[in-house]
Amino acid sequence: MNDVKTAVRERYARKAKGEDCCGTPESLGYTPADLESVPADVSQASLGCGSPVHAARLKEGERVLDLGSGAGFDVFLASRAVGASGHVFGVDFTPEMLARSRQSAAQQGLENVTFLEGDIESVPLPNGSIDVVISNCVINLAPDKSRVFAEAARVLAPGGRFVVADMLATERLPDALVADAKSWGECIAGAIPREDYAAGLRRAGFDDVEVERVASEEPCCGTDSSCCATQPTVYSATIRASKRG
């Protein structure tokens, strides 16, 4: 699993440097107003599979955590939704992405965002300090999803919301594919069936789990377009849940 995290970190480092490609934010449900509200280089560095900020319906004053915040696209959109009385934290383990997001936040003069270096399996925030957890095509990259779900539940206040865009699989993927670190970095090998995802959330302390399929069965493939044709069982979805009170 260390190879998996290395592959993921390397791919996102390439994206931060403009050396990788993926789907455009427009194809994921972001509006022209969304794109105009953040620097172009931030939106172009997105590696998402949906638009969790819209799905979360954020409110003024809420505290938000973005798991795997990358260049900060969703963090910046969320910061505008929660306003000056709210705060948005982004957690990422890729130094290149953190440097880019922090620089962009400073250039925009945003005072209600904080980017933290950390692993989404061990979030550097205290218990009950967050109202909404969001994430965009990142949890599928985590080798130990049970720890991610547990960490999301830990940092959420009772009744807090979990709203993420992620890659799911229509069936359990072959062992050979799951063992391929490169396919993990391409948002394929780490995808699990919706039933397993929902069960993991419930075990972590979530209720009202909803899974909505939002796109075709084509994963975010980066530079390897052949993976879309060879892995038709992977698709993007919006997953919602609430922490038990």
Average pLDDT over residues 102-108: 96
How confident is the model at residue 226, as a pLDDT? 43
Per-residue pLDDT band at 77 (split at 50, 70, 90) = very high
Which helix (H) or strand (E) segment is 9 a member of?
Answer: helix 2-16
* Stated pTM of the model: 0.86
The chain-wide mean pLDDT, for the chain, equals 86
Question: Can you list the alpha helix ranges (DSSP code H) found in 72-190?
Answer: 73-82, 95-108, 145-155, 175-178, 181-185
pLDDT at site 27: 63
When pLDDT is averaged across residues 181-197 and rounded to a whole number, the result is: 87
The pLDDT value recorded for residue 8 is 60
In 3D space, the residue among 128, 123, 20 whose CA is nearest the CA of residue 71 turns out to be: 20
Provide the 3-class DSSP secondary structure of residue 168. strand
Q: What is the mean pLDDT of residues 88-109?
A: 94
For the chain, domains (ranges, CATH) are 2-243 (3.40.50.150)
> In percent, how much of the chain has pLDDT > 70?
80
| Whole-number pLDDT of residue 192 | 96
Q: Determine contact, residues 50/238, Cβ cutoff 8 Å.
A: yes
Q: What pLDDT score does 65 carry?
A: 99
Answer yes or no: is pLDDT of 25 > 70: no
| Per-residue pLDDT at 88 | 98
How far CA 107 is from CA of 39, 90, 101, 118, 146, in Å, comes to: 9, 17, 10, 23, 36
Residue 180 has pLDDT above 80, yes or no: yes
**The two structure tokens encoding residue 208:** 């009202």
